[in-house]
Chains A and B, each alone.
Chain A
Amino acid sequence: MTGILKIAYKLLVNDKGKFAALLIGITFSVFLMIQQTSMFAGMMRKASATVTNTGAKVWVMDRAVTSVASSIPMPDFMRDAARSMKGVKFAVPLYLGAGLARLQDGTYQGVSIIGLDDSSLFGRPELIEGNIEDIYAENGFVVVEDAESPKLENPKLGTTFEINDNRGVIVGIAKVPASGLFGIPTLYTTFSRAIQYIPSLRSTVSYILIEPTSVAAIPGIKIEINKLGYEALTEDEFIDRITNFYKYHTGMGTNILIMTVISFIVGLSISAQTFYTFVLENLDRFGALKAMGAKGRELVYMLLFQAGITALAGYGLGIGLCTILIAAARLRVPDYASVITFGNLALAFGMVLVIAAISSYIAVRRVLKIEPFDIFRS
């Protein structure tokens, strides 16, 4: 069989024009598919940044919450209720809000403020400068060093600013796995200081973070929380909810889906048309092979191999191209929201296989219909 496949390979790659057209078609298609989906994955990663950075196993929230930024404050008693539940190791409040920081030059900059539980600082980021205990100091804030932090005038330890006429001081510089979606700097402080600095409603707790005694305790906790009219989600469930919100309720997912489908159609059109032309041009030779004693299935293997080789090469080139583009974009935009995930790769691979299958199916049908007698008649 290897000899036949070698012939198939040579027939394909030696026809440089067609091979190049096939490769360009599939590469471009894969590039677009990966680019679109990785952009979406990157944005979703950023949209869920607070969830992943905090690392809580269970999040308690209002049932109407659709994304981490759209928290609906809960009354304080929920924290005590959660703490009293069976299977809860500890439960702490988390404040999430946005404010306007007045910088030293008098300009204003929107900031995202995360208030950590005063006693445990659960969910605190990893500090690269300063001590976390200093967050308890007067007006103490920790700034996340990311692509957005320069907007606070490149803050250092000791940099000051104002929020609602309250003084703030940077006491620590932190790094987090993912930065936020909205392009504003992130500040951490204590829960009590956060609600003191930011105007709040009567209820102040954005989320309650629960550490269960075991994974097996989570279903019971969810039932108990549900009885109180709220909802408990695991970290993965919360990320799914956020992703689904952007996917289905903002139009973003639909647009990405449409672009991905268009990319697929472009790739399929170019590939199927070129491959079919390639087969048509070699039809009499395939007929001659059949006359000489090649079996139909051997010709099918040849075509599938050719389609497979092209698909895999185009897939690899498409990924490479996309990676280069993302790397180049990050040189200019360090926080460029695009990330190639295994899911993106698998999706593109599946679509490329479909392109290869459809292209070769059309060609196979044509080749199997050739009668060796037609070769004599030609």
Chain B
Amino acid sequence: MNAIEARDLSKWFGEGETRTNAVQNVAFDAHFQEMLFIVGPSGSGKTTLLSMLSGILRPNQGTVKIKDQDIWSLSADKLADMRLHTVGFVFQDFHLFPKLTTVENVAVPLILKRRKWDEAIKEALQALEKVGIAQRAGLSPQKLSGGEQQRVAIARAIVSQPDILVLDEPTASLDGDTGRKIVEFVKRDILNAQRCIIIVTHDDRISEFADRMIKMEDGRVMEIEKGQGHA
């Protein structure tokens, strides 16, 4: 079973003369225990593709299956549930709540899953230990460095044990060395046999960690190649 199956995926914005094709007829599979990079220049459709894959943006055409389930045939509530239980997100700007502590931020997905507060905090603490910043649990994310905030965002994304982890430009807000360390950490400690990680990036410095790379240009997949990180 593939983690993700994308078939004939297209997305366009506007109609008629103003129509812009963001993604055109994309098809590929993503596997478990695979770190898949989607790369390409700005405006190539990477983020749009990632959004369609993760159940956030409805495609105009084509299907996305996550563990054989056609996600775009689900109702809005079921789709939200699917995202909650199956997909972990690491946003480019992290989007952490500055008025919550670090551990409370990490616990948010568990709270959304209706876990009891104390249990959620306990598990969030374990997730913070996994990403190596448990000692910062009681601080506001505003008091953390960019790299630490990225780790908090990763802890939040993995705390509910998602099958799919998507990272949008994970190194964009970080210096080169920190960015590299983060992706290396994700590959080494977060990727496992039950998980598929998709990273959208245009940072060549981290390409060595990719198991496969989907190269996009003008909304089309130009090439799918094995990355340097492929075992």
Contacts and interface: CB of A to CB of B under 8 A. Distances in A.
Contacts of B76: 295
A294 interface: yes
A298 B108 CA distance: 13
Q: Which 3 A-B pairs have the closest CB atoms?
A: A293-B84, A288-B95, A3-B111
Contacts of B168: 376
B97 A282 contact: yes
Interface in A289-316: 289-295, 298
Interface stretch (A10-18, A83-91, A249-257): A10-18
Contacts of A293: 80-85, 87, 109, 112
Interface residues on B, range: 35 or more
B51 interface: yes
Nearest to A2: B117
15 contacts: A2-B117, A3-B111, A3-B115, A7-B100, A7-B108, A10-B100, A11-B99, A11-B100, A15-B99, A291-B91, A293-B83, A295-B80, A372-B56, A375-B91, A376-B91
B97 A284 contact: no
Nearest to A294: B112
B100 A14 contact: yes
A285 interface: yes
Interface string A45-75: 0000000000000000000000000000000
Interface residues of A, number: 30
A377 B47 contact: yes
A224 to B, nearest CB: 69
Contact of B57 (A10, A15, A373): A373
B50 interface: yes
Interface in A363-378: 371-373, 375-378
B50 A376 contact: yes
Interface of A: 1-4, 6-7, 10-11, 14-15, 282, 284-285, 287-295, 298, 371-373, 375-378
Contacts of A2: 117
Interface in B19-46: none
B92 interface: yes
Nearest to A5: B111
Contacts of B85: 293
Nearest to A14: B99
B188 interface: no
B92 A378 contact: yes
Interface in B76-120: 76-77, 80-85, 87, 89, 91-93, 95-97, 99-100, 104, 108-109, 111-112, 114-117, 120
